[in-house]
Amino acid sequence: MVRLVKRALVPARLRRVVLGWFDSRYISRADHRQDIKDALWEVQTLGREIVSLRAEVGELRAQVDKVRLDPIRAKRWDDAHRLSEETAVAMDGVLQNEVLLWQAVDRLSAGPAGPAGPAGSADTVTSEGSADTVTSEGSAVSVGSATAVTTAGLSGSSGSAA
């Protein structure tokens, strides 16, 4: 490459502005070389890490191949899992029934509701196939598979559960 350079007098302020512009836009060759060396070092380091990770994965796969699942232990784990799921379903049902039962108790405690007055009031609430019936005389509260019978509004009687 042929370089043709003419010298001219340039004010110092203009020279600083132009050199500052070049310095901010362009990188020097030495800095560029250093950046390339740094990038190459990073690539080599990552290559060594990949090799060590591949060796570790190979060791772990060898350990997994050595371990076989014992059928008796697998059956126990499956049984424990099944029992935990059944317990969770049963507890969910118990909690839902308890909520329904306390709602019925709250309705009984609130007293008669509706235009019929104390003699003939009845509230019926259905939830997922179960019905709660509350009357002011002898009332039966059916919640899921449990039935509670209470007597409300009678002066000489006490509540009984069946």
Per-position DSSP letters for 78-146, written without gaps between them: HHHHHHHHHHHHHHHHHHHHHHHHHHHHHHHHH---STT-TTT-EEEEEETTEEEEEESSEEEEEETTE
Q: Which of 159, 106, 100 is nearest to 125 (CA)?
A: 100
Task: Give the predicted TM-score (pTM) of the model.
Answer: 0.32
Highest mean pLDDT among 69-78, 85-94, 132-141: 85-94
Non-local (6+) Cβ contacts of 115 within 8 A are: none
pLDDT band at 105 (very low <50, low <70, confident <90, very high): very high
Q: Is the pLDDT of residue 106 over 80?
A: yes
Q: Is the pLDDT of residue 16 over 70?
A: yes
CA angle 132, 133, 136 (to 5 degrees): 140
Q: Is the pLDDT of residue 34 over 90?
A: yes
